[in-house]
Amino acid sequence: MIITKNKDINAIIKSLEGRKKIYLFGCKSCAEQCHTGGEAELKEMSASLEERGFTVTGHSLVPETCYRQYALKEYKNAACKTSDAVLVLACGAGVRTVADAADESQPVLPALDSIFLATVERQGRFFEGCSLCAECVLADTGSICPHTDCPKGLLNGPCGGVADGMCEVNVENECAWVRIYERLKKQDRLHLMKKTAPPKDHSLSVKPRRVLLRNPVGAVPASKKKGSRP
């Protein structure tokens, strides 16, 4: 799940640059669970904007704002199209999806800051779970991620700052490498920690990243192209 938090309302208003008719998008997926982009937050944002003299022309709460199809469908409604700006209460991917569906002349703006990809301990308790590094090392680390759980992203053991098993940077957290050590020891796999890990291959995560499992809409499949081999 993608974790988001509210931007300061004054920063949002500044980004609207005086545009008055505002349409809102929420997201029933991650942002709703974060209490940043569900029905309740859309209402709060509406009230907050109207109090400050804006007109909220309407809102859409789609199942997943990062899906182009949902954004395109909602964008057909006139209130959305004719507003001065669209404010999106979803993660950055949601904002961009709506912006790509929108008319290029219409500003689509973020109401939230996107923070991390979470594991959900329980409703309302989110912990960063994965850094999306494109080269998963969990097999060697007892499924505790040194990139994510160690603030320095160290790959070969704890730094000198570990104090009684606690992290020097986030003092309330256990050191990721002490946890890795303890878990591997329980699994009788400490040999994995004794192996020197090579430096990360950052060429695997050059941005923007993409995965294309199918052709774009309307494209001729390669197999049907003239002259293509079977």
Partner 1 sequence: MGLKDELHSGRFTITAEICPPKGTDTEVFLQKARLLKGHIAAANVTDSQRAVMRLSSLACSALLIREGIEPVFQMTCRDRNRIALQSDIMGAWTLGVKNILALTGDHVLAGDHREAKAVFDVDSVQLVSLIEGLNNGRNMNGVALRGKTGFYTGAVVAPEANPFEPEEIKFEKKIAAGARFFQTQAIYDMDNFKRFFATAAKKDVKILGGILLLKSAKMAHYLNANVPGVKVPHPFIVELEGAKDPLAKGIEIASRQVRELKKFCHGAHIMAIGHEESVVAIIEGA
- Which residues here bind partner 1, judged by CB under 8 A? 151-165, 168-169, 177-178, 180-181, 190, 193-194, 196-200, 202
| Nearer to partner 1 among residue 85 and residue 180 (C-beta) | 180
First-to-final CA distance of the chain: 40
Minimum Å distance from CB 108 to partner 1? 28
Minimum Å distance from CB 140 to partner 1? 13
| Nearer to partner 1 among residue 85 and residue 193 (C-beta) | 193
- What string of DSSP letters covers 182-227? HHHHHTT-THHHHSPPPPP-GGGGPSSP---SSPPTTPPPGGGSTT
How many other C-beta atoms are found inside a 10 Å radius of the C-beta of residue 102?
22
Minimum Å distance from CB 178 to partner 1? 6
Report yes or no: 1 and 93 within 8 Å, Cβ to Cβ.
Answer: no
| Nearer to partner 1 among residue 126 and residue 181 (C-beta) | 181
Helix (H) or strand (E) holding 27, with range, is strand 21-27
| Nearer to partner 1 among residue 45 and residue 180 (C-beta) | 180
Report yes or no: 12 and 107 within 8 Å, Cβ to Cβ.
Answer: no
Rounded to whole angstroms, the Cα distance separating 174 from 153 reads: 14
**Whose CA is closest to 28, among 20, 36, 38, 19?**
38
| Nearer to partner 1 among residue 9 and residue 159 (C-beta) | 159
| Nearer to partner 1 among residue 69 and residue 170 (C-beta) | 170
30 phi/psi in degrees, rounded to 5: -65, -50
Minimum Å distance from CB 181 to partner 1? 4
- What string of DSSP letters covers 39-108? HHHHHHHHHHHHHTT-EEEEEEEES-TT-HHHHHHHHTSHHHHHSSEEEE-S-HHHHHHHHHHS-TTS-E
Tokens of 80: 């959305």
Minimum Å distance from CB 131 to partner 1? 13
Minimum Å distance from CB 180 to partner 1? 8
| Nearer to partner 1 among residue 27 and residue 184 (C-beta) | 184
Minimum Å distance from CB 9 to partner 1? 23
